[in-house]
Amino acid sequence: MMKNFSLLLSIAGLCLTDAFAPTTSVGLGRASSKSTTSVQAIDPSTIPDIITARAVFVLSFAAAIGTAAVGREVIPVTLREWKKLNLLKGQGRSSMSGEQLDLVGYPEPVYSDDVMTVINNEMSPFDMVEKYPVEGALPGYLRFESLAQANPDVSQVAVRALFDSIAVGLNKNSVAPQIFAAKVEQYKQDGLGSMVSNSRLSKTIGVAALVILLVLLGSADYFALFHLFHGWFPEWSGTSRLPMSLLDFPAYLELPQSYLADVPEMPVTSGAFPMK
């Protein structure tokens, strides 16, 4: 899959180079024209669409590799955090006592007594931030790593579950100490049912945000590819079958023969400009 994706990126780069290349040489000597397409018959009515597709592709491709690149960074971060969560399995010591909390997305069961051990830690979140600093952390904010170091003998999955119920989102690793303290106090008074509800809400927000991001990025990429093929490969058999033809990898072999380098000039109909 990555090999075919690299092929598409190479094609996009070639088309961008072609789009901005001069049609004739600007040095000394005889002017030379660019190589023309091997496509022999182009429907004149499609020429305006080809021109428009090329212009739109340049803009959409710039957006896809520019602004959208910031959003793409969330994907490896999410995978990295998921791997870190799975590595917590078996770390610390679980009491395996109390109620098994109805939480989702964790590599091992989370028990209420383990969570209460973390909640009843006499060290305040402000002290945790000061005693267990984390490199690169927001100044004054509590990181999960600090909370984990303050509770080394407790199931680290339980520590993570408590932290996740307070930090909103899928990849949030920081929370204000005062917010953490207030939530912990709420859990003491209301019980861990509110923690379970908050955890589900946090996971739902995080997953929904990730899904929306992936849909937007996928739409931006498809928009660019759609105009790439319509602008430079209008006669390719897969152009009319997008987006399903993107999975038809053997059809990519036809792309070199379908490449349209120069947009043909619009034919002038005889008698369109009658002379008096």
pLDDT in tens, the chain (276 residues): 444 444 445 555 555 555 444 444 334 333 334 444 444 467 777 888 888 989 999 888 887 777 667 777 778 888 888 899 999 999 999 999 999 999 998 999 999 999 999 999 999 999 999 999 999 888 999 999 999 999 999 999 999 999 999 987 555 789 999 999 999 999 999 999 999 999 998 888 888 888 888 888 888 888 888 888 888 998 888 888 888 888 888 888 888 888 888 887 766 665 555 555
* Domain residue limits at 139: 91-205
Is residue 260 in a domain? no
Distance CA 54, CA 203 (A): 41
The answer as to whether 145 is a domain residue is yes
* Closest CA relative to residue 81, chosen from 145, 177, 138: 145
Length in residues, the chain? 276
174 inside domain: yes
- Per the structure block, which two tokens stand in for 11? 């094609």
Q: How many domains does the chain have?
A: 1
Q: Is residue 198 part of a domain?
A: yes
- Identify the residue whose tokens are 């896809």: 64
- Cα–Cα distance, 249 to 199 (Å, whole number): 43
For residue 137, is it within any domain? yes
Tell me whether residue 216 is in a domain.
Answer: no
pTM to 2 decimals? 0.65
Whether 21 maps to a domain, the answer reads no
